[in-house]
Amino acid sequence: MKEYDVIVAGGGPSGSIAGRTLALSGAKVLLVEKDLKRIKPCGGATPLMSFKEFNLPKKEITRKITAISVISPKGARVDLSPKGECIAMVERVSFDATLRRQAEEAGADLIEAELQRVKVQGFSPRLLARGEKSSKVQRILVTIIENGKERTLTSDFLITSDGINSRVVSSLGLKPLPCVWTIQEDIEAYPQDFHACEFWFGSIHAPGFYSWVFPKKDYIDIGTGSTDGKALKVLMKNFKMRLGINTEGRQRVYKLPLRQRKPLVYGNILFVGDAGGLVMPFSYEGIYYAMMSGRMAAEAIIGGSPKDYEKEWNKRFRYEFALMERLKRYFLKDDRSMERLSELCRRKEVQDAWMRLWLEKDLSITRLHELYKFLT
């Protein structure tokens, strides 16, 4: 059995940033990714500031979007133009590969393998569920299948970054997170030129959610969501009818977590990204928070106190996530509430507060209180 300081299960943004951060500190790290060519269903939008904050190559930006549009159920359109910031659009195949390559260049080992099961020495299921250690030395055994052969690796820590359908979660007998189902469709060579990221509201195509149109380099990405996975095809059909789109594109269905996993740390096992439920409510933004969680988890391990990861995460983001959850429940409950949201978005102070939160990550309590006051 080969030993590592840390095994990272999942090579998306959260896992790759964690692997790179740990490797740069001198830790012996293994990054395990099931499919290096996988196309992660994702809108591919992240604030431009992400590239500076995480030292990412700007060549991965396929298009910069400088406008956001909100369309109400009745068709009222509000255009928002963020000042000094923009949305960076990325293609997840290339973007994820670049992040994994950065982790390798920092010194992490990368393999394409499927995780089968996880066993924790010195941990009973009862203690694991409470996030407590036994008096024994804890070792984590990770069994993988690589090139058709099964082998077991050991590590001191495991960072779980393998998504909403986490094999680590099922292997340890933990409860899956509640989720929302989403469907997206990539439509190439569409004649209408979209310049803004558009958020469409209306219960006929997005009950309790929103639908979107994201312009990419040479196609548009459209999608919608629902807690009822069986309704997705009909909802997408209704949305395309509203858009006046008859072209058929490639459709993909995926899930997003609806709440944060509690706790985020089970002994020496840390949950990041979608596996930790770290997707912002209401907007369902995930890339930035995935990368941030990966870095924070890695820094907690480097600092010798893995539990500090959850403390630091909650200190920085708990209020923001709670606020967005309240706003989601308030404004997305019916079409009338969605119309009110559209009306409020016409106010300059609301637009400014919203843009500071989303694109500049201005998470000060004062700013968040301002946004909540403006919107309610």
**Token pair listed for 115:** 């995780």
Cα 45 versus chain centre, distance:
10
Task: Please give the average per-residue pLDDT across 322-344, as a whole number.
Answer: 92
Percent of the chain with pLDDT over 70: 89
List, for residues 104-161, the tens digit of each pLDDT value.
Answer: 999 999 999 999 999 887 655 455 555 554 434 468 999 999 999 999 999 999 999 9
**pLDDT given for residue 137 in this prediction:** 47
Of 13-22, 77-86, 363-372, the range with the lowest mean pLDDT is: 363-372
**pLDDT given for residue 38 in this prediction:** 83
Distance CA 196, CA 96 (A): 24
Of 21-25, 62-66, 181-185, 240-244, the range with the lowest mean pLDDT is: 62-66
Residue 17 has pLDDT above 90, yes or no: yes
DSSP per-residue letters across 126-192: HHHHHT---SSPPEEEEEEEETTEEEEEEEEEEEE-S-TT-HHHHHTTPPPPPEEEEEEEEEES-SS
pLDDT mean across residues, the chain: 88
**pLDDT given for residue 370 in this prediction:** 62
Task: Please give the average per-residue pLDDT across 87-113, as a whole number.
Answer: 95
**pLDDT given for residue 37 in this prediction:** 85
Sheet containing strand 87-90, edge to edge, reads: 45-47, 87-90, 61-65
Question: Is the whole model's pTM more than 0.85, yes or no?
Answer: yes
**pLDDT given for residue 134 in this prediction:** 43
List, for residues 192-232, the tens digit of each pLDDT value.
Answer: 677 889 999 999 999 999 999 999 888 899 999 999 999 99
Distance CA 23, CA 182 (A): 35
Q: Name every residue whose Cβ is closer than 8 Å to that of residue 124 and which is 6 or more positions away in sequence.
A: 134
Residue 94 has pLDDT above 90, yes or no: yes
CB 356 within 8 A of CB 362: yes
List, for residues 58-86, the tens digit of each pLDDT value.
Answer: 999 999 988 889 999 999 999 987 676 78
Structure confidence at residue 313 as a pLDDT band (50, 70, 90): very high
The 8-class DSSP code of residue 34 comes to S
Residue 6 has pLDDT above 60, yes or no: yes
Structure confidence at residue 96 as a pLDDT band (50, 70, 90): very high
Residue type, 287: I
The 8-class DSSP code of residue 277 comes to T
